[in-house]
Amino acid sequence: MKAAIITKYKQITPMVTEVPVPTIAPTDVLVKIVAASVNPIDLKTKDGDLRLLLQYTMPLIMGSDFAGVITAVGDQVPDFKVGDAVYGRAPKDRIGTFAEFIAIDHQAIALKPANLNFEEAAAIPLVGLTSYQALHDIMNIQPGQKVFIPGGSGGIGIIAIQLAKYFGAYVATTTSAKHFDLVQSLGADKIIDYHQQDFTDVLSHYDAVLDTRGGQSLEAAFQIIKPGGQIVSIAGLPNARFGKDYGLPIWKQWLLGLATRKLSRLEQQAQATYSFLFMQPSGQQLVRLRQLIEQGVIKPVVDRIIPLTDINAALEYSHSGHTTGKIIISIQPN
Ligand SMILES: NC(=O)c1ccc[n+]([C@@H]2O[C@H](COP(=O)([O-])OP(=O)(O)OC[C@H]3O[C@@H](n4cnc5c(N)ncnc54)[C@H](OP(=O)(O)O)[C@@H]3O)[C@@H](O)[C@H]2O)c1
């Protein structure tokens, strides 16, 4: 089968080459991938930026999420059959969706939303699960709460705004002026052009921030959070608490604690809670997302569709940091 692989970290461009079709374990299904989506984690994985949390053996097939059709089912898979159209986020130790087939545990997938085509469905798993786990599982957003989601026109922002509105929140976001209509159509209540205005000049006393930017933007979020509020970052530094929960060895927890001393100080000063989220694959939560999509609560936004053979152009575009929604990789026809 065709797959986009790297043979070492920091390889400048992955190459599309022939590799064997994977074999399935008893709890796996084999999926013929129709479409996959690009996520910033693809470049971070390629460059080895996540080696503290994830280590891969080479060669590595890139890509984290997908939509496709089941072509084989393991002996211990009770809930899927050949021919089912599914979508999913591959478990982190077995990624590889920029490929014609993937062998994947049945617990990481769900039936594809019926009202989406494969390209649209591939736009959901990673960003949908991340947004749901941040806003629902960790923050438990309640009606009337004020939530700030920077980067409203990005892969995460687009889904997170819609979910936060579904949970009844008042949502503020940042983006460029050219995306105002889009984020407004998703339900954003307060839109700030980050080129023109600093969000700390406009927002205050927020219940929650879903930080998608990290760095100074994350630090600035402590200025707008109210006492007792929550900041969940998916782009900043993991703290020692995260390292402990993630099961990292003590010395790595210590390193994270050292690296996040400033965040801990800001957390104390603001009397708020800081957490880092590293999203988890979950077939069950993809079922919940499917329901919300089929009810019209959430819709994906596809920026462009690029064939697998042009994977490097897709990664380069993702690297620009200015996509509108998701870049989709078309792998093969259904
Ligand atoms: N920890 C996890 O589990 C997890 C999961 C998913 C994602 N992430 C991380 O979350 C981050 C966001 O992911 P994503 O998929 O949303 O990225 P993305 O789709 O690449 O984000 C692109 C968007 O960011 C906007 N943007 C760029 N600079 C901005 C700024 N200074 N202020 C506000 N918006 C700005 C752009 O808007 P303009 O075009 O208007 O500039 C564009 O629409 C990445 O770092 C990713 O690795 C982490």
pLDDT, one tens digit per residue, over 123-158 is: 999 999 999 999 999 999 999 999 999 999 999 999
Please report the pLDDT score of residue 12 as a whole number. Answer: 79
Domain ranges of the chain: 2-124+300-330, 127-276
Please report the pLDDT score of residue 144 as a whole number. Answer: 98
Segment (H or E) for 148: strand 146-149
Q: Please say if the pLDDT value at position 52 is more than 90.
A: no
Give the sheet arrangement for strand 15-18, strand by strand: 15-18, 2-6, 60-61
Dihedral sign, CA of 109, 113, 119, 122?
negative
Q: Please say if the pLDDT value at position 59 is more than 90.
A: yes
Place of tokens 């399935």: 24
CA–centroid distance, residue 106 to ligand 1 (Å)? 29
> Is-contact 328 306, C-beta < 8 A?
yes
Dihedral sign, CA of 261, 267, 269, 271?
negative
> Is-contact 59 95, C-beta < 8 A?
no
CATH 3.40.50.720 fits 127-276, yes or no: yes
The CB of 281 under 6 Å from ligand 1? The reply is no
Q: Whose CA is nearest to atom 48 of ligand 1?
A: 234
Please report the pLDDT score of residue 210 as a whole number. Answer: 98
The answer to whether the 2-124+300-330 and 127-276 domains have the same CATH topology is no
Q: Please say if the pLDDT value at position 246 is more than 90.
A: yes
The amino acid at 56: Y
Please report the pLDDT score of residue 54 as a whole number. Answer: 87
The CB of 327 under 6 Å from ligand 1? The reply is no
Please report the pLDDT score of residue 25 as a whole number. Answer: 98
Token reading at 6: 């790297």
Comparing C-alpha atoms, which of 235, 301, 302 is closest to residue 274? 235
CATH 3.90.180.10 fits 2-124+300-330, yes or no: yes
Span 245-271, average pLDDT? 96
Please report the pLDDT score of residue 74 as a whole number. Answer: 98
Span 6-15, average pLDDT? 89
Span 61-86, average pLDDT? 98
Token reading at 292: 């919300």
- The 10s digit of each residue's pLDDT in 115-128 is 999 999 999 999 99
> Is-contact 236 220, C-beta < 8 A?
no
The CB of 233 under 6 Å from ligand 1? The reply is no
For helices 261-270 and 250-259, the axis angle rounded to 10 degrees is 60
- The 10s digit of each residue's pLDDT in 297-312 is 999 999 999 999 999 9
